[in-house]
Amino acid sequence: MNEGKSARVLVVTSGKGGVGKTTSTAALGVALAKDGDKVVVVDFDVGLRNLDLVLGAERRVVFDLINVINGVAKLPQALIRDKRLENLYLLPASQTRDKEALTEDGVAKVIAELRGKFDWIICDSPAGIERGATLAMRHADAAIIVTNPEVSSVRDSDRIIGLLDSKTERAERGECVDKHLLITRYHPWRAARGEMLSIDDVLEILSVPLLGIIPESEEVLRASNVGSPVTLNAALSPPARAYFEAAHRLKGEQIPMHIPSESRSIFNKLFGRKAA
């Protein structure tokens, strides 16, 4: 199954939980696959896997990452091919096995094998800074730091940036992991009223180049509900467009950043109604 490819390894990380790592992994995986690239998304959240659910593949999981590491299954047996996008594959995390089974050598072997078969390997990191999170970032060429414009998320992102600069293979070789900031759950009207950290605030504090701004949207929730990432389920919605643009930026394209803006009328502002 080696197709002579040389994948770029991405880690989607944040430190804090619940900021949108898994959602973003799935949405970006779909966006890159739709563009014709061969993509595998790898769930590193052993014991609390969810990437399968967000991708709508939860009933198709037979083998997982730890089975491959332990030699119970071969890598091609554990890879689940998406039913809608033939270029998209999932390597699920184990739901029951002990986290200790995730070994450094095992992960290194799996990533090395995947590198030859795919254009993109997207590692969905668990929250926290424990083994699962450090192993997810270990082999990364680039990192997507998912941050909400909120104090605890920004602080944790800063901590993760420190780990990316010290604990990754690239850092140990004296090289740098390319870092990209993905701001999710952005509320334009809250930022405009000074109730939420602005994009500029977050960028100034973290000093990481911006990959995209995903506006808060019910489409993202709906996408998770039905097991179809927003870039597949509502491809023209504002969050999906933001993910597509982010995917293009990952491929090196220069696309002007568009900051989601206030979409409510003066009337609604004054009388407190949300725009539809």
Partner 1 sequence: MNLLHLFRRGSAPVARERLQILLAHEREARNEPDLLGVLREEILAVISRHVAFDPDKVQITMDRGKNVSTLAVDIEIPNRRRAADTAAPVGRLALEPRPALARSLWTNGLV
Give the distance, in angstroms, between the CA of residue 237 and the centroid of all CA atoms in the same chain: 19
Q: Which of residues 155-184 bind partner 1 (CB under 8 A)?
A: 155, 158-159, 162
Q: Which residues contact 191 (CB under 8 A, 6 or more apart)?
A: 149, 197, 198, 199
Which of residues 194, 253, 267, 276 is near partner 1 by CB under 8 A? 194
Q: Which span sits near partner 1 by CB under 8 A: 61-69, 76-84, 253-261, 266-274?
A: 266-274
- Tracing tokens 């730890």 back to the chain, one arrives at 66
Total Cβ atoms within 10 A of residue 174: 6
Element (H, E) at 66: helix 65-70
CB of 193 to partner 1, least distance (A): 5
Site mask, partner 1, residues 128-157, x = CB under 8 A?
A: ----------------------xx--xx--
Closest distance between partner 1 and the C-beta of residue 167, in Å? 12
Q: Length of the chain, please? A: 276
Cβ neighbours for 1, distance < 8 A, ≥ 6 positions apart: 76, 117
Residue 262 near partner 1 by CB under 8 A: no
- The pair of three-digit structure tokens given for residue 165, joined into one six-digit string: 């600069």
Instruction: State the residue for tokens 């100034």.
Output: 204
Q: How far is the CB of 153 from partner 1 (least distance, A)?
A: 10
Among 40, 79, 122, 196, interactor with partner 1 by CB under 8 A: 196
Minimum Å gap between C-beta 195 and partner 1 is 4
In a 3-state reduction of DSSP, which class is residue 40?
Answer: strand
**Could you give the CA distance from residue 26 to residue 169 in angstroms, rounded to a whole number?**
25
Per CB under 8 A, contacts with partner 1 among 69-88 are none
Q: Which of 17, 201, 209, 251 binds partner 1 (CB under 8 A)?
A: 201
Q: Candidates 195, 252, 253, 256: give the one binding partner 1 (CB under 8 A).
A: 195
For residue 15, the tally of other CB atoms under 10 A from its CB is 26
Please report, as ranges, the residues that interact with partner 1 according to CB under 8 A.
150-151, 154-155, 158-159, 162, 191, 193-198, 201, 205, 269-272
